[in-house]
Amino acid sequence: MVRLDTVLESWKSVRADTVQALEDFPSAELDFRPTEDLMTFRELAVHILQSGEALAGMLSAGDKTFQGPDARKRMNSFARPLSQSPDSGELSRNLSESVALRSAELAVKSPEFYAETITRFDGAEVTRLEMLQFVKEHELTHRAQMFLCLRLKGIVPPTTRRKLAAKK
């Protein structure tokens, strides 16, 4: 059985490493992209922020469906206001604030709330807890892209640094 507190703590840990990756990346190179068809490092950070905010916000608000003609408008209503080209500091602050706010909101929801089935944007029927797990997994996917960018710049990602430090 997956427990709510475990999912929330894991998401906060994933987010902390996302923030650390952003802080480790050269600020003058935020528009770096590994290939033309991939998001830039900055775009990845913005996407993680805004998608996490939208999905967790809709989940917390009690939305029952994440698809349909109004879904995109509803998601956009949770978007955090950012400058045109946010720097590392602005993104780091917003990423940290967002996960703290959304995880606090979600932590007080009842077991019945999380057991309820909702419709994900791809039409899949999932419980609210499964949707929350998806939010974290979505971030992990894009964080891995950020880690690849770090590696391409010769920077060791924070998770690897911890593992190396633990071996010493």
* Reported confidence tier of residue 71, pLDDT bands at 50, 70, 90: very high
Provide CB contacts within 8 A for 80, sequence distance 6+.
49, 50, 53, 94, 98
Helix (H) or strand (E) holding 41: helix 41-61
CATH of domain 4-167: 1.20.120.450
Looking at residue 21, its pLDDT comes to 98
- pLDDT score of 80 more than 80: yes
Sign for the CA dihedral angle at 109, 113, 117, 123 comes to: negative
Neighbour-count burial of 28, counting CB atoms closer than 10 A to its CB (0-12 exposed, 13-18 middle, 19+ buried):
exposed
Looking at residue 2, its pLDDT comes to 85
Classify 40 as helix, strand or coil: coil
pTM of the model: 0.95
Looking at residue 1, its pLDDT comes to 75
Looking at residue 67, its pLDDT comes to 94
Per cent of the chain over pLDDT 70 is: 100
- pLDDT tens profile 15-42: 999 999 999 999 999 999 999 999 999 9
- pLDDT tens profile 124-148: 999 999 999 999 999 999 999 999 9
Looking at residue 168, its pLDDT comes to 82
The DSSP secondary structure of 15-33, one letter per residue, reads HHHHHHHHHHS-GGGTT--
Bridge partners (DSSP) listed for residue 117: 127
